Structure 1
Amino acid sequence: MPTLPPDEPVRAAEAWRLMFDFLMRSAPQRLEAQQKHELTPNDSRALFLLDADGKPIGALAREWGCDPSTATWLVDRLERSGLADRVPSPSDRRVKLVRATEKGIATKNDLLAAYHRPPPEIENLPRGDLDALIRICRKLQA
């Protein structure tokens, strides 16, 4: 395996730091969208992992990286807001599935539309820079 030039890890760290700092500076735009729906960042993150089919609390806890009691607390918050509900599992009556309600799915779509609105710093980039950024981001997606 060929060795990287000595400055490559440093350059990669700089690129990541700059991207991360920009995402952090643009966080208020995302927070504003969440607050419009009276959601916290954790509520929003939890909602995005729910679907119309539903998942057991234990599976959600693993996906959310928390313990089941915290997952239950998050689900309770989403349920009180009408964004999620608990339904019996069709395959096991003892298990309750948590799913996004119609309101929850509509809220996810609204949040996603807000998250996808580019910040002014992106909108104001010259065409060539935007093309380069798109090309680079597509490489990162692959």
Structure 2
Amino acid sequence: MSAEDALMTPPDRSPDPASAAWRLMFDYLMRSSPQRLESLQSRGLTPNDSRVLFTLDREEARPIGTLARQWGADPSTATWLVDRLERAGLAERSPAPGDRRVKLVRLTEKGEATRKELMEEYYRTPREVAALAPVDLAELVRIFSKLNQGVE
């Protein structure tokens, strides 16, 4: 048994159905992560770079301090992350009109195009999902729609 297999707990050994479901979803996401990582690496990006890329906007520049809070990072780390995207031509910084000490960050045209390309690649249906029966796919859509809306 590999270390990866040891981390994946079969549903019948989980303490409750919610834990079993979560473990199975998590295991599938982990198993499918190499495809997402390959998409990033082909562009010289890291998972942290993609996190930044997906929170920026082309139309609305946002202060680095606000972004740092959103990312749960200190301002120097946020600056370092933005620096990486800026060097790649994916983001740009400008001083805030009312306070030049505040730096605003937005996506460049290249950054917006890169994000769009990544989303197209991420949204390609994995063959395991495409192979499911229509009734199973409908059930997955129903369940994940509910999860994305929040459980009430």
Q: TM-score, normalised by structure 2?
A: 0.84
Where 2:92 maps in the other structure, the secondary structure is: strand
Where 2:94 maps in the other structure, the secondary structure is: strand
Where 1:125 maps in the other structure, the secondary structure is: coil
Distance 2:139 2:32 in 1: 20
Q: What's 2:72 paired with?
A: 65
Distance 1:94 1:135 in 2: 48
Number of residues paired by the alignment? 134
1:141, CA displacement in angstroms? Answer: 1.8
Matching residue within 26, 37, 41 for 1:35: 41
The RMSD of aligned alpha carbons is 1.2
Unaligned residue ranges in structure 2 (runs of 5+): 1-14
Q: Aligned pair 1:23/2:40, yes or no?
A: no
Q: What's 1:94 paired with?
A: 101
User: One-letter code of the match for 1:95?
Assistant: V
Matching residue within 117, 124, 141 for 1:117: 124
Question: Identity of aligned pairs, percent?
Answer: 63
Where 1:112 maps in the other structure, the secondary structure is: helix
Where 2:44 maps in the other structure, the secondary structure is: coil
Matching residue within 99, 103, 118 for 2:110: 103
Q: Aligned pair 1:51/2:57, yes or no?
A: yes
Distance 1:116 1:36 in 2: 17
1:115, CA displacement in angstroms? Answer: 0.8
User: One-letter code of the match for 1:17?
Assistant: R
Q: What's 1:74 paired with?
A: 81
Q: Aligned pair 1:133/2:133, yes or no?
A: no
